Chain A
Amino acid sequence: MREVFGPLIPLSEMHTGNHGVLELMHAGRGLSSRLTSLGLTPGTDVTVLQNYGHGPMIINVRGTHVALSRGLARHLLVKMEETK
């Protein structure tokens, strides 16, 4: 687990190319279980590969490209790494 200082924001608010650490998952049991099996757990690094501000988004987590609906991404809270 890596220490990152930054604001806690929904994953859906991050822009293409942003990095962050997944902190909180409020997705409910069934969805959480599917998210964890694709590599999303609290403390994991995530990089946004594509987010056009509408529709689903693509993230890189543990070397896997994962597509998520926007509605779901709103329930995943990320501590965003400040970009210089």
Chain B
Amino acid sequence: MSSESHSSTLQQTIYHPAVQGIPLIALAGQPNVGKSTIFNLLTGLNQHVGNWPGKTVERKEGRFKMDGIDYRLVDLPGTYSLTANSPEELITREFILTEKPDLVVAMVNAANLERSLYLVAELVALSAPLVVVLNMMDVARQEGLNIEANVLQAALGVPVVTMSATHAASTAELVKTIKQMVTSDIVQNPRLPEIRADHQVILNEMLELIKGYVPEVYPENWVALKLLEGDKEITNKMIALMPADKWNAIHDLLKDHDDALLAIASGRYEWIGRLTRAAVTHPRLGQISLTDRLDRWATHPFFGLVLLALILGAVFGLTFTLGSPAQEWMDARLITPFGELVAGWLSSGPLWLQSLVVDGIIGGVGSVLTFLPILVIFFAAFGFLEDVGYMARAAYVMDNFMHWMGLHGKSFLPLFLGFGCNVPAVIGSRVIDTKKSRILTILLAPFVPCTARMAVVAFLAPAFFGNRAVWVIWGLVLFSLVMMVLLGVILNRVLFKGERTALIMEMPLYHVPNLRTIGMLVWQRSISFVKKAGTIILGISVVIWALSMLPDGNIENSLLASIGKLSEPVGRWMGMDWKLTVALLTSFVAKENAIATLGILFGGTEGTGLAQTLSAIYTPATALAFLTVSLLFIPCVATLAVIKQETGSWKWTALNIGLMLVVSIASASLVFHLATAAGL
């Protein structure tokens, strides 16, 4: 191996026999190269979305059939490199090394060859059979680039296929190449990147040191490079596999050459430079692109914020003009009639069964499902902004502000989505690149008051505060957000030791949104939410129902009431009696349940009658405390379900519950005492 490394053209022969059975194809590429568009074009609706085992990264797998051959296609996460900085990078290389796909399709952006070939420079070192797809050839041509695919193919030593972003017809050449490759024996001699010359000796030393200790699935040369790059995962693996004295020699070598990472990266870019110098004949024109022109406004420190406010205002406008009526319609025309219909079917059965199905299951799951229209709008808006490339701009203009909370710009939009519903906020945190920022964003998301909680506030505030209600509502929202920022500052210090967050983000070119890609995203996220409504949310709804019905079917004597009475001492800190406490507890299933529960507890009155009754019984101080605790109380069951899913840990979920419990009760107690002292 080491003698080979000295030669000027480092090559490595890859042999892969013709595939028996269903070929497994892996789709790899950097973010913003149009990978999901191609995946959707090839597989259509014939795809399955889940998570990678033990990870919170989306795993998309699909099947497609062309010319009588079935294929399995796995969409690997979009990554800029293959050094284990994130779970995405780890997943991608582990999949290629251990699952050994029959072919890796590497997508690159033709309009940005130099940067997007970097991943290919890493992929060729993994010894997997490879085909490179030059996507976005149309964009490249517009930018004045003339790329000769056949020259690139000859220089690279693996097949190169061209493609123009979004047209279904353009996948034909790719599919033909895939078919050719899997039906015959593949022999590839890709030219490999070399380490920058001044570090060649060190690489050879490293290869000498690890010889014989590298597990069979990993190419030795690759492991040597990853050690020099300081890759944590490979380093830990090799420490475990090697005797201590051998490892110490490696440790010393690494200590003396901590700049090896830069030498390796430079070597990859030199390799890319050699390829592109041969294949790209026309240099980029010096014209001002559409992206530059738009960014003068979109990333301006002042106008960028104005634009962001306008866009977010539009998203909200859409939610309230379309989402809220749709939600009311679903409730009045679907859920309630369905409940009545089922009640009719069950009328001959026992009363408890009727109540379980109608009040417990249909009432609980149904009220969660009515949020679907709002979720769909938010998923669509989020997907649209991401797909046109605006998301990066929003992150950019909000970066400064988010640093206060130990976050960076990428956390802004997910948190903002929380105003609609906390569920997409938590799911949206997937766009954040470091685990620390992702977890912190998820923990803070439930502090953003969602529409359901705002409904409770908007219902009660006018009855207690008359025409000052608007100020009370604004004050409460502002208070929630201040608590969020404060907690962000504190959690960042305590949990993450003030670890620095740095924004490093590609600002992709703006492009025309692909409605198919956005549609698939909305569909998959909605389905996943509905599935959750049918499982975890169903289970908890039934439990809450049972607690409110047992033992005698009367909520006033129920276990839930007992719990309410038991926790009344805590409730009293906030000036609340057991009825308000029970209302708060039932808001766990869905926040707006608080109103329904109060309706039951105060003798089936609803609407303005209920608000009037309440304002006659409770003081404004109690009301203010109740509204405060309602806004900040533990997230609803749907939000908790996605928190568990996205953090992949009960520990973070439990921490979130504990945190919100403490903060909400403490704040509401303080508010109650201050308000009482002020004579309310």
Interface residues in chain A, defined as those with a beta carbon under 8 Å from any beta carbon in chain B: 25, 27, 29-39, 41-44, 49-50, 52, 54-56, 58, 62-69, 71-72
Contact = CB atoms under 8 A, between A and B. Distances in A.
Contacts of A43: 266
B395 to A, nearest CB: 8
Interface string B494-534: 00000011111111110000000000000000000000000
B114 A58 contact: no
15 contacts: A27-B502, A32-B261, A36-B81, A37-B83, A50-B299, A56-B396, A58-B295, A62-B114, A63-B115, A65-B508, A66-B505, A67-B504, A67-B507, A68-B502, A68-B504
A54 B504 contact: no
B430 interface: no
Interface of B: 80-81, 83, 85, 112, 114-115, 118, 229-230, 258, 261-262, 265-266, 269, 284, 291-292, 295, 299, 301, 392, 395-396, 399-400, 403, 408-409, 500-509
A36 B114 contact: no
Contacts, number: 111
Contacts of A35: 504
Contacts of B392: 67
A63 B284 contact: yes
B261 A38 contact: no
A69 B114 contact: no
A54 B301 CA distance: 9
Contacts of B230: 29, 33
Nearest to B84: A33
Nearest to B113: A63
Contact of B262 (A38, A42, A55): A42
A38 B500 contact: no
A30 B85 contact: yes
B112 A72 contact: no
A36 B505 CA distance: 12
A45 B114 CA distance: 13
A70 B550 CA distance: 60
Nearest to A36: B265
B80 A37 contact: yes
B390 to A, nearest CB: 13
Contacts of A25: 262
Nearest to A50: B299
Contact of B399 (A38, A56, A65): A56
A41 B399 contact: no
A15 to B, nearest CB: 15
